[in-house]
Chain A
């Protein structure tokens, strides 16, 4: 590469002696595109009787050899590689490239088809994968419940250490962020209520708004969405990276049950942590609302509490809290299941983590909507 590189050329001449193909210059990567075009132009004119002259060829690398091999075809390239007038290294290169093409490049090229059919195909595939996904989720819920049933009467198989550690990670560690979030949402709801109700002269009912909102809906919904983002993703990443490194297989071959070892402690931990966190979120939201009421509506704390106590019943609290275990179970199950679906690469861990968060938030909001309809019909 020390010598300046002359662009490669190829020319086809015809005289009485027959056709003659002359290759000159450097047949290297920088000239690949030009040479390829030139070779494609000539490819149609090449007869079977053409003489090939590559003795004045400058440098040649694999890309150059590839163009030559394509232009001449396999048989003539192999013949050229036997030409003892050429340097040994050049013959070896031609032969290696020709062999490689003969052996491996004979497969047909992929056909790319576009348009309406592809659209239909994708819709079909998406539907099929949605059903498969749902079936898998139901299956996994079944396995988890079975795991619960088989260990619940045998305290010796309870993984208490793991359970406590997961309660700490998913519950205790989430308290600050959850409390702050709920406090601020509570304040925002109170502001909205105070502004909207003021036009009816009913701004004092902001207290009821906050109470209803947080006891019935926001407390549990905010907690569930936060944990779907925080915990479902963590579960998927933990189990997924174990899956990618064959640790799950190792658990199986040691005669242990990955469901019992990994899924049950996580699910139980979330079943315990999520209701507790919901309670924290309710309190923080109500406090946030109360602060706004005290500041903007000139309410006294005792007045707020009296109103709250008079208008809210324990049923509101129970209706909200009843949803917490269901959400917890779904978030934990989806998080763990996505972890088990990881295959091989680190990229797969990332994909399934995203999928776990999206699915669990979707399921939480769907179930919440169904629950709201149910409660309304029941008149609770």
Chain B
């Protein structure tokens, strides 16, 4: 595995969603939704509340079984695989859940060491040491590893959860609202952390977010979920020009303009 995304592999989709339909009771969340995620990119998924951003993420990682359509991750349909092969694919992606989902009965370091012990079959002391490195990569000091999740602040929980998602050196990282509930400084630090890790580890990042600053500072492409499908997908400047009331309100509202301004200022 070369960590360098070359031009040839950059266009090969690692996630392929085709004709996806998700329905809960009488409520249709996704209707005939298509989406491709390319290797090595950071794709941001945006949309109003209740447009099924998190549901899309959960469908791709195989937690929600779609009513119709197909989801391929690394060319494999997760739901069609047997347990063992599915687990092999699952080890190639890491998920950061919205509220961290750290196991509350384990210390932070044990949380990160868990996949290392279970899947990589590392002896516990080795796994703990390596967990310390993952925590450091996510920007947490060593002594945070000995604490329990309940003793951490919101920003530290997100970082610890990121360290756990990175434990097995995944190829795809799924982030569900990683900066929600963080102060602007922590959020900005988290954004640059994601870009650094993407560049260093050659990750593909699937990012569900509401945060315009995150979109401008990290994403290569943005996909807008609206009216039960992907309304627009592409670089953020293109998407922002889409002729749709919601998109216009989102990107060209006061907050959107502020984020655009901040992004262009940063580039100069």
- Complex interface: chain B residues within 8 A of A97 (CB): 133, 137, 200
Question: Per-position contact with B for A33-71: 1 when CB-CB < 8 Å, else 0?
Answer: 100100000000000000000000001111100100000
B200 touches A101 (CB 8 A): no
The stretch from B65-73, B118-126, B182-190, B254-262 touching chain A is: B118-126
Within 8 A of A (CB), among B103-155: 104-105, 116, 120, 122-123, 126, 130, 132-137, 139-143, 146, 148-150
Q: Which residue of A lies closest to B168 (CB)?
A: A29
Q: Is B180 an interface residue (CB 8 A)?
A: no
- Complex interface: chain B residues within 8 A of A346 (CB): 104
- Complex interface: chain A residues within 8 A of B5 (CB): 89
Q: Is B199 an interface residue (CB 8 A)?
A: yes
Min Cβ gap B52→A in Å is 27
Among A90, A96, A104, A110, point to the contact of B141 (Cβ < 8 A): A104
Min Cβ gap B128→A in Å is 10
Within 8 A of A (CB), among B217-233: none
Known: A62-B166, A89-B202, A97-B133. A345 touches B149 (CB 8 A): yes
Among A1, A33, A348, point to the contact of B1 (Cβ < 8 A): A1
Among B2, B134, B143, B150, point to the contact of A345 (Cβ < 8 A): B150
Among B3, B130, B136, B143, point to the contact of A60 (Cβ < 8 A): B3
- Complex interface: chain A residues within 8 A of B200 (CB): 89, 92-93, 95-97
Question: Per-position contact with A for B159-177: 1 when CB-CB < 8 Å, else 0?
Answer: 0000000101101000000
Measured in the bound complex, the distance between the Cα atoms of B4 and A105 in whole Å is 27
Known: A96-B197, A104-B139. A30 touches B4 (CB 8 A): no
Q: Which residue of B lies closest to A36 (CB)?
A: B126
Min Cβ gap A282→B in Å is 43
Q: Which residue of B lies closest to A64 (CB)?
A: B169
B136 touches A33 (CB 8 A): no
B136 touches A28 (CB 8 A): no
- Complex interface: chain B residues within 8 A of A253 (CB): none
- Complex interface: chain B residues within 8 A of A32 (CB): 120, 122, 126, 130
- Complex interface: chain A residues within 8 A of B105 (CB): 347
Among A33, A63, A110, A343, point to the contact of B150 (Cβ < 8 A): A343
Among A29, A33, A103, A107, point to the contact of B143 (Cβ < 8 A): A107
Question: Per-position contact with A for B1-44: 1 when CB-CB < 8 Å, else 0?
Answer: 11111000000000000000000000000000000000000000
Q: Which residue of B lies closest to A109 (CB)?
A: B142
Min Cβ gap A271→B in Å is 34
- Complex interface: chain A residues within 8 A of B4 (CB): 87-90
Among B120, B126, B148, point to the contact of A30 (Cβ < 8 A): B120
Measured in the bound complex, the distance between the Cα atoms of B123 and A347 in whole Å is 27
- Complex interface: chain B residues within 8 A of A124 (CB): none
- Complex interface: chain A residues within 8 A of B1 (CB): 1-3, 28, 59, 61
A89 touches B3 (CB 8 A): yes
A107 touches B142 (CB 8 A): yes
Q: Which residue of B lies closest to A66 (CB)?
A: B133
Measured in the bound complex, the distance between the Cα atoms of B93 and A229 in whole Å is 45
Q: Is A344 an interface residue (CB 8 A)?
A: yes
A105 touches B133 (CB 8 A): yes
Min Cβ gap A63→B in Å is 6
Q: Is A100 an interface residue (CB 8 A)?
A: yes
Q: Is B87 an interface residue (CB 8 A)?
A: no
B135 touches A89 (CB 8 A): no
Q: How large is the interface on A (under 10, 10 to 19, 20 to 34, 35 or more residues)?
A: 35 or more
Q: Is B196 an interface residue (CB 8 A)?
A: yes
- Complex interface: chain B residues within 8 A of A87 (CB): 2-4
Min Cβ gap A39→B in Å is 12
- Complex interface: chain B residues within 8 A of A29 (CB): 116, 120, 168-169
Q: Is B201 an interface residue (CB 8 A)?
A: yes
Min Cβ gap B145→A in Å is 9
Min Cβ gap B213→A in Å is 22
Q: Which residue of B lies closest to A37 (CB)?
A: B126
A63 touches B169 (CB 8 A): yes
Known: A32-B122, A36-B126, A347-B104. A101 touches B3 (CB 8 A): no
Within 8 A of B (CB), among A81-120: 87-90, 92-93, 95-97, 100-101, 103-107, 110
Q: Which residue of A lies closest to B135 (CB)?
A: A104
B142 touches A93 (CB 8 A): no
Measured in the bound complex, the distance between the Cα atoms of B122 and A66 in whole Å is 15
Most chain A CB inside 10 Å of its own CB: which residue of B135, B200, B202: B200
Min Cβ gap A54→B in Å is 14
Q: Which residue of B lies closest to A102 (CB)?
A: B136
Min Cβ gap B4→A in Å is 4
Min Cβ gap B59→A in Å is 24
- Complex interface: chain A residues within 8 A of B104 (CB): 345-347
Min Cβ gap A302→B in Å is 61
A62 touches B150 (CB 8 A): no
Measured in the bound complex, the distance between the Cα atoms of B200 and A89 in whole Å is 5
Among B123, B134, B142, B146, point to the contact of A62 (Cβ < 8 A): B134
Q: Which residue of B lies closest to A96 (CB)?
A: B200
Known: A59-B2, A63-B130. A33 touches B199 (CB 8 A): no
- Complex interface: chain A residues within 8 A of B135 (CB): 104
B2 touches A100 (CB 8 A): no
The 3 A-B residue pairs with the shortest CB-CB distance, nearest first, are A100-B136, A104-B136, A89-B3
Apart from the given pairs A62-B133, A62-B137, A105-B132, 10 other A-B contacts in the complex at a CB distance below 8 Å:
A1-B92, A30-B120, A32-B130, A59-B2, A61-B169, A89-B200, A89-B202, A96-B200, A107-B143, A347-B150
A-B contact pairs, 17 of them (CB 8 A): A1-B171, A32-B120, A32-B130, A61-B169, A62-B166, A89-B5, A89-B202, A90-B4, A93-B3, A95-B200, A96-B196, A96-B197, A104-B135, A104-B140, A105-B132, A345-B149, A347-B104
